[in-house]
């Protein structure tokens, strides 16, 4: 009787990535999904900044505050303030849901 050894093939083997990279990517998608599902609590300007900063539009990439300033034509401090307010609202919403 011969024993056949079968090597386990993992997702990491197929993708050629490290386990931590995959976990980080999945975690990031989950976090973005949580933010996206709660955008309705933000006003339009806050949504615009958060979507841009965290790349929440389809195929979107995260943008810097400086890039958003150019796009919106406002001061960087204003974008920073909007982002802070929006993140605080989202934080309270997440905390309330737990």
User: Rounded to 5 degrees, what are φ and ψ at 4?
Assistant: -105, 125
Question: Residue 87 burial (CB < 10 Å; 0-12/13-18/19+)?
Answer: middle
Question: pTM (2 decimals)?
Answer: 0.67
Can you tell me the distance from the alpha carbon of 98 to that of 93, in angstroms, rounded to the nearest whole number? Answer: 9
Q: Which of 98, 85, 89, 78 is nearest to 41 (CA)?
A: 89
pLDDT of residue 20: 67
Greater confidence, 13 or 56? 56
pLDDT in tens, 38-96: 899 999 999 999 899 888 886 778 899 999 999 999 999 999 999 999 988 988 887 77
């Amino acid at each position: 009787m011969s024993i056949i050894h079968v090597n386990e093939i993992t997702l990491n083997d197929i993708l050629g990535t490290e386990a931590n990279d995959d976990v980080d990517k999945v975690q990031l998608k989950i976090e973005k999904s949580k933010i996206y599902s709660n955008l309705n609590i933000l006003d339009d300007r806050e949504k615009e900044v958060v979507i841009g900063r965290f790349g929440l539009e389809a195929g979107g990439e995260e943008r810097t505050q400086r890039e958003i300033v150019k796009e919106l034509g406002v001061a960087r401090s204003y974008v920073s303030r909007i982002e802070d307010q929006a993140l605080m609202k989202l934080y309270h919403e997440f905390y309330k849901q737990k």
